[in-house]
Amino acid sequence: MTAAALPARVAILGTASSGKTTLAAALACRYGTVWVPEYLREFVDVRGRVPVAGDQFHIAATQREREDVAALAADGYLFCDTAPLMTAVYSRHYFGGVDDQLARLADTHVGDYALTLVTAPDIPWVADGLQRECEQVSVTINRLLMEELAARAIPYVLVSGDLERRLAQVERLLVAGV
């Protein structure tokens, strides 16, 4: 695949229960392409437990590997339900830091996304089994994510409202050639 044929990767970041998965799936459907589900969800479901510090690099690396595989099937855009950077944010919060491997992975791939979207935590929060922290932790994670994006000078667009409003916001960006 040539560089010109590579899809534009769109990172969709945000806290638990902020609509990342719903948005990624809807965008893929709207644009006739594929999306990359959040591997963390599968990890928790298959293993029946929340991850520990030693799992963080594996989770982020598997997410990235799945992006690379999906990119081969993507048409125009590849919508990514999270990115290694989000795993690093969670690692900082839950484990007090980011191990060297995860930090390198997040640093290496942060520039691979043509567009970074952040889903606003403005929809009703819904618990989702083992994977979901409480609503108050989501507030903290959102703050940490915004701080991380600012510290890295990563431009992002905050999408908010119901799904149709979010889709319209993203469509305007994509039509504008972001």
- Which residue(s) pair with 12 in the sheet? 81, 117
pLDDT level of residue 89 (50, 70, 90 thresholds):
very high
**Integer Cα distance of 149 and 115 in angstroms:** 13
- Domain tally, the chain: 1
Tens of pLDDT, residue by residue over 137-169, are 888 999 999 999 999 999 999 999 999 999 999
> Phi and psi dihedrals of 51, rounded to 5?
-70, 155
User: What CATH number has the domain bearing residue 101?
Assistant: 3.40.50.300
Query: What secondary structure does DSSP assign to 17-51, as a single string?
Result: TSSHHHHHHHHHHHHT-EEE--HHHHHHHHHTS--
pLDDT for 4 beyond 60: no
Q: What is the domain range of residue 95?
A: 3-175
Q: Which amino acid is at 58?
A: H
pLDDT at 162: 95
* pTM across the whole model: 0.92
Residue with tokens 């644009």: 31
